[in-house]
Amino acid sequence: MPDTDPPFPSFANLGASPPKDFDVQTVARDWISAFAGSIDNRDVHSLVSSSLHVESWWRDVFALTWDMRTFQGRAKIETFLNDRLAETGFSKVEFIKAFFQQVAPDVAWILIRFSFETAVAIGVGVARLVYCADSVWRAVTVSTELDGLKGHPELTSADRDFRVNQGNWAEERKREVEFVDKDPEVVIIGCGHSGLEVAARLKHLRVSYLAIEKHARIGDNWRTHYDILTLHNPLWSNHMPYLHFPTSWPVFPSAKQVANWLKFYAEALELNVWLSSEAVSAVRNKATNKWDVVVRRGDGSFRTLHVDHVVMAQGFPSKKTAFPGQEDFGGQIVHSSEFKSAKVFVGKKVVIIGACTSAHDIASDCADHGVDVTMVQRSATYVMSVQKGVLAFLSASEWERAPIEEVDSIRMSMPFHFQKDLAQRGAAMVQHVDREMLEGLKKVGYKLNNGKDNTGVLYLVLDRGGGYHYDAGACQKIIDGMIKMKSGTEVDRITKTGVAFKDGSELPADIIVVATGLDDFRVPLHRLLGEDVAAQIPPMWGLNEEGELQGPWREPESLPGVWPIMGNFAWSRYFSKMIALQIKAKQKGLYGTRYAAPDS
């Protein structure tokens, strides 16, 4: 985060609060009219000085930069617009809707959604207007987001096949999936939710693709996890594009339900998938500028596909942490990715190394089966309850009040660094509603933190993708002593009989479960791309100086045609569209120059 944060637009910092009586629609339309006029006249200075607050933010998501960029302050925004307005053809800004948001007792703004065009694309934007001390409404945030490509709309009902005789459907579908006549334009590696969503987006943009899945069934990446695994984000935030989860489903479905849904999703949308297949190598052919992807099929045969793009959708691998002395351990060492059920641990002493979601879930399962289980917490953890915390941040009233694409757009329009104050307020709220649970954890030696700069979960997700736990009941078992805790010291080594710690203590164990989180996204790419090529891949997570995530959802400059995607259901739903639109733009010669952030 920046060394000094711009003042958040609270009423105190603005020196004013909105008047009691004002016409939201009139204010919003007047602002859009002035904003659009400045854009059309290429009068950047007037736009910045008149329409934007002095501490304003502008976030662009692939619309004007073909990148993800955040510009803070009038000077940086003015430079950005002077650099990009003429080149992109940013124009035709039009009002869509506006409403007043009381975000907190001392924070409120008018939220405006608008549309616009560039030379090659259509976009949507969001502006948040705050009431300033001189009685003028100005935007404190503006976003511009790629929404479509001119002349290349998504499939609609008018594009349906109206033939009556579909008796040869099965044979045609088989030929389509096998790519008998020609190779696809895109290969997608991985058929979890991210891979399937990219496949669905490409299909609706009429881009030929093939998704490669190493398992025998779609959804096996969920089926192979432990039996008690469920989603910890509510169902209404996790819908996939074009086909939403049924309203009859539970708010937090099980992993097996999710697995079956992914299989159904691929079948219902007729996505092109090769099962029991693995991409064993991918090499950039300098003569053709294509990627030569070698795929080993389930029958042992090989097929080399010559494609323009490779989407990496295999997700973050689990970290296989090794400890000194583990080869001498007389019991069993199990990685969390291999764990299925605590039923087989009954009568054993179990030590779990790790204290985030998987560790808590496994420990909870052990407690339910009467297993003697101890969780080893190597560093402090941020904890938020699912029922009181998560549901407060992801309420059904927000996600179901408007089309999910609109909710996504509004959420993604807010720069991450701008959210710091709101995140601190949210973390304080969680500490209050979860205070009984958190105090109980402290009493039994559980080490807690409140996130970076007291922002709760936000920057733990953005900076490291871990370090937190959404609790669905394990914490009460810790408080009640059903799950024992060992915290405040590091693991020194594994002995023949258990785990030794740097404070000189030791825990006896029959079984050690390693649950130490997720590894670097780039780890599996070393085998696929080769060490020399993989070494060129930049970091794939963590915020840069502008507050944008490094790496995912756009091609690395050193690896044209490679598209990493990762994230939960909500983020993958949103960014699968961004990847598909960028690929379509590349295929049709519409992709402009990238306005990339300077190297950190």
Mean pLDDT in residue range 94-112: 97
Q: Residue 19: which CATH number? A: 3.10.450.50
Is 558 a residue whose pLDDT tops 90? no
Residues 470, 459: contact at Cβ < 8 Å?
no
Nearest Cα neighbor of 382 from 466, 490, 488 is 466
197 & 249 share domain: yes
Evaluate whether residue 598 is within a structural domain: no
Is 537 a residue whose pLDDT tops 90? no
Which of the 8 DSSP states describes residue 119? S
The CA-atom distances, in angstroms, between 3 and each of 62, 394, 425, 452 are 27, 30, 20, 14
Q: What rounded mean pLDDT belongs to the chain?
A: 95
Q: Which residue has the higher pLDDT, 506 or 525?
A: 506
Which of the 8 DSSP states describes residue 466? -
pLDDT band for 160, please (50, 70, 90 cuts).
confident
pLDDT band for 439, please (50, 70, 90 cuts).
very high
Predicted pLDDT at 571: 96
510 & 524 share domain: no
Evaluate whether residue 595 is within a structural domain: no
**What are the pLDDT digits (tens) for 83-102?**
999 999 999 999 999 999 99
**What are the pLDDT digits (tens) for 322-354?**
999 999 999 999 999 999 999 999 999 999 999
508 & 529 share domain: no
Evaluate whether residue 231 is within a structural domain: yes
Whole-number Å distance between alpha carbons of 107 and 14: 10
Tokens representing 523?
Answer: 């780890």
Tell me the whole-structure pTM to 2 decimals: 0.96
333 & 434 share domain: yes
306 & 403 share domain: no
Evaluate whether residue 154 is within a structural domain: no
Predicted pLDDT at 399: 87
Evaluate whether residue 428 is within a structural domain: yes
Tokens representing 449?
Answer: 């933190």
571 & 502 share domain: no
63 & 187 share domain: no
Q: Which residues of 280-319 are buried (b: 16+ CB within 10 A; e: fewer)?
A: eebebeeeeebbebebbeeeeeeeebebbbbbbbbbbebb
Predicted pLDDT at 502: 95
Predicted pLDDT at 524: 83
376 & 312 share domain: no
Last residue of a domain, one of 498, 514, 530: 514
The residue segments making up the domain with residue 498 are: 326-514
Is 525 a residue whose pLDDT tops 60? yes
Phi then psi for residue 241, to 5 deg, are: -65, 145
Is 3 a residue whose pLDDT tops 60? no
Whole-number Å distance between alpha carbons of 331 and 509: 7
**What are the pLDDT digits (tens) for 217-257?**
999 999 988 999 999 999 999 999 999 999 999 999 999 99
Whole-number Å distance between alpha carbons of 253 and 73: 43
Whole-number Å distance between alpha carbons of 237 and 407: 9
**What are the pLDDT digits (tens) for 367-403?**
999 999 999 999 999 999 999 999 998 999 888 889 9
401 & 543 share domain: no
Residues 513, 336: contact at Cβ < 8 Å?
yes
Q: Which residue has the higher pLDDT, 103 or 599?
A: 103
Lowest mean pLDDT among 62-71, 309-318, 347-356, 518-527: 518-527
Q: Residue 494: which CATH number? A: 3.50.50.60
Predicted pLDDT at 535: 83
308 & 338 share domain: no
Is 2 a residue whose pLDDT tops 70? no
576 & 486 share domain: no
Residue type, 129: L
Q: Is 132 left (phi over 0), alpha (psi -120 to 50) or beta?
A: beta
Residues 550, 75: contact at Cβ < 8 Å?
no
Evaluate whether residue 596 is within a structural domain: no
Evaluate whether residue 218 is within a structural domain: yes
> How many structural domains compose the chain?
3
Whole-number Å distance between alpha carbons of 486 and 538: 36
Mean pLDDT in residue range 154-176: 88
Predicted pLDDT at 520: 86
Predicted pLDDT at 319: 86
The CA-atom distances, in angstroms, between 130 and each of 15, 22, 28 are 11, 13, 11
Whole-number Å distance between alpha carbons of 387 and 382: 16
Mean pLDDT in residue range 123-151: 98
Mean pLDDT in residue range 470-474: 95
Say how many CA atoms lie within 13 Å of 532 toward its Cβ: 2
Predicted pLDDT at 4: 67
Predicted pLDDT at 589: 97
pLDDT band for 276, please (50, 70, 90 cuts).
very high
Last residue of a domain, one of 514, 545, 560: 514
Last residue of a domain, one of 514, 539, 568: 514
Predicted pLDDT at 544: 93
351 & 494 share domain: yes
Predicted pLDDT at 339: 94
Evaluate whether residue 156 is within a structural domain: no
pLDDT band for 599, please (50, 70, 90 cuts).
low
